[in-house]
Amino acid sequence: MARTGDADAAVAALFQAQRLPMVRLARLLVDDLETAEDVVQDAFSALHRKWGSITSHDAAIGYLRTSVVNGSRSVLRRRRTARAHPWPDATKWSADSADSGLLVAEEHREVLAALRQLPTRQREVIVLRYWSELPEAEIAAALGISVGAVKSSASRGREAIAALLGGMS
């Protein structure tokens, strides 16, 4: 796509255009704005390091999206491990940030609460499909699964959310 010397300018332009959508994606997956921003920053850093092997603008965006999903998975794994082995006073540090209530409108809180209850793959597919509005083939590529797995995960995720919301769809 471009020479390594052009990496700074190209990644800076992508950062301007794609940072917010990537932070939104990560935020929905990790449920924490600060961590989401860290995941996205790591993805852009990795993109800069790999710039010489990126072949197109679309490939760069796909690389970012995959990096954000994989980074979010890593965060969630670390959280699971930390919860399995808590520090004695860990509960006092688990409060939401002061602005977390402002990030999501009141009417979306129930949906997000239901989304958090889904298994990881279903949550990832639902977020990529309905929040990021990606086609099934791009979701499959980002998650490293088949298109059929995307379809079944989306269907099961929608059904689970509808059940959790009391039949609303």
- The per-residue pLDDT for 85 is 62
d(CA 53, CA 7): 11
Looking at the chain, the domain(s) classified CATH 1.10.10.10 span: 104-169
144: number of Cβ within 10 Å: 10
- The per-residue pLDDT for 154 is 93
- The per-residue pLDDT for 1 is 46
pLDDT bracket for residue 92 (50, 70, 90): very low
For the chain, report the end-to-end CA distance as a whole number of angstroms. 43
Which CATH number is associated with domain 104-169? 1.10.10.10
- Say if residue 157's pLDDT is above 80: yes
pTM attached to this predicted model:
0.62
- The per-residue pLDDT for 108 is 75
d(CA 102, CA 27): 14
- The per-residue pLDDT for 93 is 47
Phi, psi dihedral angles at 31 (to 5 degrees): 60, 35
d(CA 164, CA 160): 6
